[in-house]
């Protein structure tokens, strides 16, 4: 096997292993980054909904207290305000959604699906780690990321409408009925805020960035590999071949090839000088002047 072939095989092996490892780490990092970005987006949506809830409860409800005596105004309900302000989210940003899912909801539209019930149960029985559950699910629209946080009754005021039908405003019962959304207790986790965010978009973005940067790195590495290959050929392989031919000629008794050109001070030039000294001794046996 020639030196060139050996260098080529070793270079190729190193490139495949090295680049494989680098690209693997790079791709994982870029994917994780995309996921972190999406989780951050979901947290922002959830925090915004909480802000709307608090605003409605603290600012709007007292203002409309008098009007609410005559007719029930869902506009004063924190959950209604949050759901209404977030409802258009999916229209402008497909795949995004916000839901306050409850096991026993006042509004049947908020009833937890079996998957959501599982998450709420994990908050209720303490099997959820921390106060946020993050999961992904594959859907026909692409992978979705779910970020869920528990909804706990932390205010006695909430129980006005969610403890017993008798305690709730009759006008509310007229609209929502007396059969659901009651029996909640102080400090009980009754549901979860569930924000859904599409993972496909940031994943596509990550893939595009990976292809661009990875392609660039690959091109540079191939360019450098070809350059090194050519340099090795020019500086090592080609002189060694010529020297071999000369040595073969001398061995066969022909001195027509002359001396080997020895310029510079690298190892190949030293070898060429040593070769030339050996050739002269072989030719005349006389002392050879030192070259430099
Ligand atoms: C004046 C009555 C009233 C008060 C006070 C009230 N709620 Fe509600 N709540 C409702 C009504 C009515 C709905 C259904 C709104 C809708 O149409 O989506 C609701 C919905 C909810 C929902 C969504 C699930 C469901 O039951 O449909 C949650 C969660 C919730 N409320 C929690 C709370 C919390 C927590 C508080 C206290 C900070 C609170 N509520 C205070 C009347 C009330």
- Domain for residue 55, yes or no? yes
Place of tokens 């660039």: 216
Q: Residue 173 — φ and ψ, nearest 5°?
A: -60, -35
- Domain for residue 226, yes or no? no
Residues 96, 147: Cα–Cα separation, whole Å: 11
The sign of the CA dihedral 120, 125, 131, 137 is negative
Range of the domain at 102: 40-199
Domain tally, the chain: 1
Place of tokens 């007396």: 178
pLDDT tens for the chain, residues 1 to 292 = 877 788 888 988 998 999 899 999 989 998 888 889 899 999 999 999 999 999 999 999 999 988 888 889 999 999 999 999 998 888 888 889 999 999 999 999 999 999 999 999 999 999 988 889 998 888 888 888 999 999 999 999 899 999 999 999 888 999 999 999 999 999 999 999 999 999 888 888 889 988 998 899 989 988 998 998 899 899 888 989 998 998 898 888 887 878 888 888 888 889 889 988 988 887 775 444 554 4
- Give residue 39 CA to ligand 1 midpoint distance, Å: 26
CA torsion 20→22→25→26, rounded to 10°?
A: -110
- Give residue 136 CA to ligand 1 midpoint distance, Å: 28
Buried/exposed 76-109: b ≥16 CB within 10 Å, e otherwise: bbbbbbbbebbeebeeeeebbbbbbbbbbbbbee
- Domain for residue 125, yes or no? yes
Nearest CA to ligand 1 atom 34: 158
pTM (2 d.p.): 0.74
DSSP code per residue over 249-292: HHHTT--TT-PPP--SSSHHHHHHHHHHHHHHHHHH-SPPPPP-
* Nearest Cα residue to 98 out of 157, 151, 34: 151
Ligand 1 near 98 CB (within 6 A): no
- Give residue 99 CA to ligand 1 midpoint distance, Å: 13
Ligand 1 near 157 CB (within 6 A): yes
- Domain for residue 156, yes or no? yes
| 110, 80 contact by CB (below 8 A) | no
- Domain for residue 83, yes or no? yes
Residues 244, 76: Cα–Cα separation, whole Å: 96
Nearest CA to ligand 1 atom 16: 80
- Domain for residue 261, yes or no? no
- Domain for residue 289, yes or no? no
- Give residue 161 CA to ligand 1 midpoint distance, Å: 7
- Domain for residue 159, yes or no? yes
Mutate to test the pocket of ligand 1, among 78, 120, 157, 190 (most ligand atoms within 8 A of CB): 78
């Amino acid at each position: 096997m020639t030196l060139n072939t050996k260098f080529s095989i070793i270079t190729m092996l190193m490139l495949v292993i090295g680049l494989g490892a680098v690209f693997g780490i790079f791709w994982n990092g870029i994917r994780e980054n995309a996921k972190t970005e999406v989780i951050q987006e979901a947290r922002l949506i959830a925090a915004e909904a909480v802000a709307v809830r608090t605003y409605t409860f603290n600012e709007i409800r007292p203002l409309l207290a008098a009007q609410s005596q005559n007719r029930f105004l869902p506009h004063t309900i924190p959950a209604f305000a949050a759901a209404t302000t977030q409802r258009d989210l999916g229209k402008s940003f497909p795949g995004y959604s916000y839901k306050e899912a409850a096991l026993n909801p006042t509004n049947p539209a908020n009833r937890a699906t079996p998957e959501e019930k599982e998450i709420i149960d994990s908050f209720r029985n303490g099997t959820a780690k921390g106060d946020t559950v993050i999961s992904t699910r594959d859907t026909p629209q692409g992978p979705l990321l779910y970020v869920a946080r528990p909804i706990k009754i932390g205010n006695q005021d909430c129980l006005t409408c969610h403890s017993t039908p008798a305690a709730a405003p009759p006008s509310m019962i007229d609209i929502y009925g007396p059969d659901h959304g009651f029996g909640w207790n102080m400090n009980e986790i009754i549901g979860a805020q569930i924000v859904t965010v599409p993972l496909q978009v940031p994943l596509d973005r990550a893939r595009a960035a990976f292809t661009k940067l990875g392609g660039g790195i690959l091109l540079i590495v191939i360019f450098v590999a070809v350059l090194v290959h050519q340099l090795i050929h020019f500086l090592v392989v080609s002189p060694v071949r010529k020297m071999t031919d000369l040595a073969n000629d001398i061995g066969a008794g022909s001195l027509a090839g002359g001396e080997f050109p020895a310029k510079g001070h690298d190892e190949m030039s030293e070898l060429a000088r040593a070769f030339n000294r050996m050739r002269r001794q072989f030719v005349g046996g006389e002392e050879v002047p030192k070259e430099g």
